[in-house]
Amino acid sequence: MDSNIKNKYELQAQIMKALAHPARLLIVKELCNREMFVCELQKLIGDDISTVSKHLSILKQAGIIDDRKEGLRIYYRLKLKCIPMLLSCSENILIEKTREEIEILQSLSKP
Amino acid sequence: MDSNIKNKYELQAQIMKALAHPARLLIVKELCNREMFVCELQKLIGDDISTVSKHLSILKQAGIIDDRKEGLRIYYRLKLKCIPMLLSCSENILIEKTREEIEILQSLSKP
DNA sequence: TGTATATTTTACCAATTTGCCAAATATGTT
DNA sequence: AACATATTTGGCAAATTGGTAAAATATACA
């Protein structure tokens, strides 16, 4: 594979990797509605706060989220409008997959 | 985190994980244009054919691609229409990130 | 039947990612 | 300054993922 093209896909894979974790998906999903600060997200997710902070830094460095300081708190928010659409596409894939699995199960129980 | 919700994000993360690899992104990108069989993809990517086959099985099991047999060959193709859009969103993130990095570099070289 | 081609599976090791704790940093309050 | 709250960083063991070679399967054809 040509090395420039390879590099491009490497960078794009980095973005997908950032989204490839349940806690990080939940974070992004919540940030579709409103900006939130770290403690809020920590309560939602339930992991150690240092773990949540690390998830946030992965998402930030991937260019998916952004932050702003307000007093002691750091608010995180989505960076681009297309991100909810990206999530909903991956949800579609999940829904379709589930639909097919159910179909297979049903066909097995038929005469 | 509630265990049903957790499970949902776990499954969705699995889909993102499938896309979180440069070779697999390239495969999906190519399949946006037309269906292809394993040897064709192997030439494009350059990895060992067993590696390519593994990538394909990861994408298939994630519900992103589908296959059909024709003689000795197995043709792979995208499963859902929204996938090109998902890719273009992650490209947007990459482009915006790159744009900002360039901006920072330029501001450093100014008076 | 045997042979050639296309693809997948298995087994293995190296590299990466996770998640927690403890320590460090940053900001606001007294 | 001392203290409290919010967040990040560094270090480490456990779990997961990535890539290859070799073996196994599947299909077509002589």
pLDDT digits (tens, 9 = 90+) for B61-87: 999 999 999 999 999 999 999 999 999
Distance CA A57, CA A20 (A): 14
User: Do residue B33 and residue B56 come from a single domain?
Assistant: yes
User: Do residue A62 and residue A17 come from a single domain?
Assistant: yes
Beta-carbon pairs below 8 A across chains A and B: 126
Q: CA A98, B3, A21, B55 torsion: positive or negative?
A: negative
Q: For residue range B32-68, list pLDDT tens digits in order.
A: 999 999 999 999 999 999 999 999 999 999 999 999 9
Partner-chain contact A5 B25, CB within 8 Å:
no
- Which one-letter amino acid corresponds to residue A105? L
Q: Residue B47's closest chain A neighbor by CA? A: A1
Helix (H) or strand (E) holding B14: helix B3-19
Q: CA B14, B98, B78, A100 torsion: positive or negative?
A: positive
User: Do residue A61 and residue A102 come from a single domain?
Assistant: no
Closest approach of A85 to chain B, Cα-based (Å): 7
Q: For residue range A27-71, list pLDDT tens digits in order.
A: 999 999 999 999 999 999 999 999 999 999 999 999 999 999 999
Q: Give chain A positions within 8 Å (CB) of B87.
A: 12
Domain around B110: 81-111
